[in-house]
Amino acid sequence: MDDLTELREWEAGNLQLTPQARAAARARLFRAIDHEARQGTRGRLSRRLVLRGAFVGAATAAAAGIAVAVTRDGDSASTPNLTTLSAAQILQKAADASRADHSRLPIPRDDQYFYTKTYIERTPLKGGRTRTWTDESWMSVDGSKPSLRHEYGKVHHDPPLGKHEVRWPPTVYAKLKKLPTDPDELLETLRHGQQSTPQTDQGAFFDACLLMQGPRVMPPGLQAAAFEALADIPRVRVDRDDVDILGRPGVGVSYPGIDFTFLFDRDTYVYLGMRLKGCTTKLVNGQWRDTNPYFETKGLQQIAVVDGIGRRP
């Protein structure tokens, strides 16, 4: 039995690797072979143990939540450049990308509307057809005028916000501007002033998901601060590489126990949208019960400021 065959069988009986992690294992494996050939075998471990160690090392990195990005410099014959990024590093790069991307968005006037276009794809986990929607929303910037939302193909006409209405996260731009753009201060806000614990960190991650999910344009620096704040939360992890509904290759960042995952472009780290695990509810014997679990991806297509409902950028 050759070494590569044994490693394939080892993988089949242990951790299933992503293609990126497998590429990292193969690269480490060949480096081990080259090192062994140059150093000789006397007084060293057998090749089988060397190769198993190379493969297990990459598998351990994958299990620990490290994203392995394989890039080429344009030459098809070039050697892959393998870079490992932690969840915190991905979030920091996403913050940098957000600052560059948001420099193109105008500061809205109170009489304008936030326009968003979102693609949604929902795939049942127990079989059934995948459903898709294209949602558009026009949200009043200051909340003083009616808004229009499309959600899962249904149209919602929202009245103006009441003067004393309290909502998290806020949709009114003036209230969004009051949120701190310093990452440490924003993280304290997301934790509601409490110390870091698994429970408060989980709640902070969830509130950040709600902040990013709504149909709104962020004030300058707020989205970047949110990503940097998340980078300081212990236990944030890299989720599996994925492709969003628009076909863009992405990498996810999530938190244990939270069903939301942030999706970022694998090359540019621009925020793409969100993946979540949900379920429908059904009335059974007089009680509402969760049924039909599914995965859902929401991919942002457009975010803009427009002058009225029905207008598009």
pLDDT of residue 74: 40
pLDDT of residue 170: 84
pLDDT of residue 57: 46
The Cα–Cα gap between 313 and 301 comes to: 12
* Residue 52 near residue 7 (C-beta atoms within 8 A): yes
Indicate the pLDDT class of residue 164, thresholds 50, 70 and 90.
low
Any idea where the domains of the chain sit in the sequence? Answer: 3-85, 87-306
Chain segment 236-266, per-residue pLDDT in tens: 999 866 777 788 889 999 999 999 999 999 9
Residue 164 Cα distances to 17, 96, 167, 176, 211, angstroms: 52, 36, 10, 16, 20
Reply yes or no on whether the pLDDT at 70 is more than 60: no
- Pairing outcome for strands 154-158 and 287-306: unpaired
Region 193-206: mean pLDDT is 95
CA angle (70, 254, 122) in 5-degree steps:
90
pLDDT of residue 209: 94
Find all residues with CB under 8 Å of 162, minimum gap 6, and list them: none
The Cα–Cα gap between 86 and 238 comes to: 7
The Cα–Cα gap between 204 and 229 comes to: 9
Residue 204 Cα distances to 42, 60, 86, 259, 312, angstroms: 55, 28, 19, 14, 33
How many CB atoms are located within 10 Å of the residue 189 CB?
Answer: 16
Chain segment 206-232, per-residue pLDDT in tens: 999 999 987 778 899 999 999 999 999
Chain segment 92-130, per-residue pLDDT in tens: 999 999 998 766 778 899 999 999 999 999 999 988 899
pLDDT of residue 102: 65
Reply yes or no on whether the pLDDT at 169 is more than 90: no
